[in-house]
Each structure stands twice: as structure tokens, then as C-alpha cells.
Amino acid sequence: MNDERYLAALRTYWKANSTFPSMAKLCGVVGLSSKSSVFGLVSRLTEAGYIQRLEGRIAPTKKFFARPLLGPVRAGLPQPATQEEPELLTLDDYLIEAPNRTSLHRVKGDSMKDVGILEGDLLAVEHNSPNKPGDIVVAVIDEELTVKTLRMGADGKYFLEAANTAYAPIHPKASLELLGVVVGVARRIGR
């Protein structure tokens, strides 16, 4: 797309302000010299599905937040690079199937490190969904919140198990409430 640098400028502005500037100020943001050029840009980005007009202003669409999903990258031996047309994908598309029943939780601690859930990770947790032993869940056990693997003992009672041998299983003394099943993990690296 020839308008990629303008789209990049709009994304940068949105990230900083969570809104778009007025049409009058848009010239300076994208680096165009005339309002007619800006109107042409807005028209092209609207036709391409990146933005929409709402009540006289422009607003982002889901596609505006999407990123290119390039071909697979091998974690073993290198492979030849491909030149396929990338699919556009948002993290919500990838991690969240039921947006009205999903929340995010930041992880504290290392009790789930052996399943790849580390301190600082964001968990996508789907609420009101079926769960079974073996699911990683966010639960309130005896009035304390935690993320663990749901297990069922030989006695038919549920308990929670860490994914780190330094932590013992947790058997409820009074109550166990499952808040949701972990359906995804997001992590920033190197920051």
C-alpha cells in the first residue's frame, strides 16, 4: 500500500493519544500539505478498511490494529524465507474467542514456570466456560486468588497444583471457586 507511511503515522498518533486529531490537524500528523490530500488519504484508508467515519470524525477499525502475520519461522535449523502475502491478525483475534467473557490478569510469582507461565506475563482468562482436571485456571481458594492447574484427587475432590516442584499442591480447607480457564499467555521480551 502506498499509504503505509501515513498509516504508520496515524498508528503512532493513536498509540500516544487514543484518538485521532481533527481533520484540520491531520495534515501535520501525516505530513501532507493540503486538506484535499488528507481527504484523499482518509478516503483511501476508509476504502481499504483501516478507518471509518463516525459522526464527522475518523475512527479506527479492527483492521487498523491488525499486524501482518508472516510465514512460520523455524526455531530449529533455518529454512528458506517465503514471500507469501501476509494475513492480518490482532492479538485479540489470536488469544480471545469470547471477548465478553475474557479478562486479562498479570502473573506474579513463579509457581507456573514449568508450563511457560512466568512472572509479568499476561493471562487471557475465559470466564463461565467448562473446565476439567488438567486445565490451567484462575481460582479463589480459601479467599486467596491464584493461577494453578486444576486436579482431581482419588477422593473425587478438586485441588490445585503448581507447575514448579518448589510448591506443594493446594487443597481447599473451606472453598474453591474457579474464576476462569487460562486460554492464552502474552509476554514482552527484553523490556
Hey, which residues are catalytic here? Answer: 111, 148
Count Cβ neighbours within 10 Å for each residue of 165-183 and write b for 16 or more, e otherwise.
Answer: eeeeebeeeeebebbbbbb
**Integer distance in angstroms from the first to the last C-alpha of the chain?**
31
Identify the three-state secondary structure at position 171: coil
At 160, the amino acid letter reads L
Q: Do residues 82 and 72 touch, judged by C-beta distance below 8 A?
A: no
**Radius of gyration over alpha carbons of the chain, in Å?**
23
